[in-house]
């Protein structure tokens, strides 16, 4: 088992090292505004596909991580609809905060003061990129359809076609089952990325390799009382399979909560001697498809939060390649640009 994990681990690490090499900076490369940028997971995928990115993020640690690894600008700023951004960007991307439809939200849609979408929409309206792309949780389509429709309607009023899909990161080389909503506003001719041509999905064991069999000095083990809590949690939730990290399958969704929260939902590794420990920062990063050279800044909890909130870079690169193909097609066939027809604007939300 150990030798198989090590062999496949090298295969996985080689894969992400190859896919996420940063391209040499080309001053003529398309420029991307990265809003609510976090630590740069979205940007890493775009930089690896040949774009230039400039990030805007309010958290200092995340900005430092972004600059340290991507060697580009990331401005520490609390974005508002009036925020000035760089001119001349071909693309705007981002993961706007989504409190308005969360369980604890005020359900006020675009009028919620904590909502990042008015800021995102304002940037699209003022800077008129050739394409805008945002990421959010899949529940946005189901918990509050009216809210999502507000956003789509606003983008369509700016004369964009609007399309969306729920993409699973595991289909793009990420060793994690992570479904997220991606929405694209474009000028015609957009094509979603094809799934990575892998015979099997990468597993957590292939991603973690020998790390999953060891206990580094900084390991944090579950206590007896935590083990009891987990047991009661799984019984109460009728959990059929323990919530431990299973090395023979892709991981379940990596989040801030299950990386560093002391809860029954916590991602944890069961060692050969039976002890269970929390994941390390590097293990969480690998499950998100960050290469080992990507170094996170700040406290451990800050790093966990950066990882859990990030768009997996491998999935980001798949999207970035589609964006690059779209831009090239737009440049080579400008006459094909058309206005969204009326029947397209009157979109039906049949989920």
**Could you give the C-alpha distances from 210 to 1, 3, 8, 300, in angstroms and in order?**
11, 9, 10, 21
**Could you give the C-alpha distances from 69 to 40, 41, 55, 280, in angstroms and in order?**
8, 10, 12, 19
Query: Does residue 65 contact residue 298 with C-beta atoms inside 8 Å?
Result: yes
In this structure, the number of other CB atoms found within 10 A of the CB of residue 72 comes to: 18
98 is catalytic: yes
Taking the C-alpha atoms of residue 340 and residue 333, their distance in angstroms, rounded to an integer, is: 17
Burial of 104 (0-12, 13-18, 19+ CB in 10 A): exposed
- Listed in sequence order, the residues at least 6 apart from 234 whose beta carbon sits closer than 8 Å to its beta carbon are 242, 243, 264
- Listed in sequence order, the residues at least 6 apart from 147 whose beta carbon sits closer than 8 Å to its beta carbon are 100, 101, 109, 110, 140
Q: Which of these is catalytic: 98, 183, 239, 256?
A: 98
At 53, phi and psi to the nearest 5? Answer: -120, 150
DSSP 100: G
Give catalytic residues, as residue numbers: 98
């Amino acid at each position: 088992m150990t030798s198989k994990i090590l062999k496949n681990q090298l295969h996985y690490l080689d894969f992400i090292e190859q896919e996420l090499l940063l391209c040499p900076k080309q001053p003529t490369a398309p420029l991307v505004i990265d809003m609510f940028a976090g630590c740069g997971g979205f940007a890493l995928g775009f930089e690896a596909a040949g774009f230039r990115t400039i990030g805007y993020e309010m958290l200092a640690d995340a900005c430092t991580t972004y600059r340290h690894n991507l060697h580009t600008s990331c401005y520490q700023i609390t974005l508002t609809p009036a925020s000035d951004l760089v001119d001349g960007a071909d693309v705007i991307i981002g993961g706007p905060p989504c409190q308005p439809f969360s369980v604890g939200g005020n359900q006020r849609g675009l009028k919620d003061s904590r909502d990042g979408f008015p800021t995102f929409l304002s940037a699209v309206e003022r800077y008129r990129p050739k394409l805008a792309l945002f990421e959010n949780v899949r529940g946005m389509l189901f918990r509050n359809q009216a809210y999502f429709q507000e956003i789509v309607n606003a983008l369509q009023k700016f004369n964009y076609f609007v399309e969306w899909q729920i993409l699973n990161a595991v289909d793009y080389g990420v060793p994690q089952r992570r479904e997220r909503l991606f929405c694209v506003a474009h000028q015609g001719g957009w094509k979603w990325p094809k799934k990575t041509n892998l015979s099997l999905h990468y597993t957590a064991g292939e991603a973690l390799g020998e790390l999953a069999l060891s206990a580094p000095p900084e390991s944090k083990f579950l206590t007896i009382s935590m083990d009891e809590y987990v047991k009661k949690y799984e019984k109460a939730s009728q959990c059929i399979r323990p919530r431990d990290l299973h090395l023979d399958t892709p991981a379940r969704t990596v989040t801030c909560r299950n990386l560093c929260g002391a809860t029954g939902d916590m991602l944890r590794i069961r060692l050969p001697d039976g002890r269970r420990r929390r994941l390390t920062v590097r293990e969480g990063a690998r499950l998100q498809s960050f290469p080992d050279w990507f170094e996170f800044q700040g406290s451990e909890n800050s790093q966990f939060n950066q990882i859990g909130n990030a768009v997996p870079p491998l999935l980001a690169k798949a999207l970035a390649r589609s964006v690059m193909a779209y831009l090239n097609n737009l440049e080579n066939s400008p006459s094909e640009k058309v206005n969204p027809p009326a029947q397209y604007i009157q979109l039906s939300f049949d989920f």
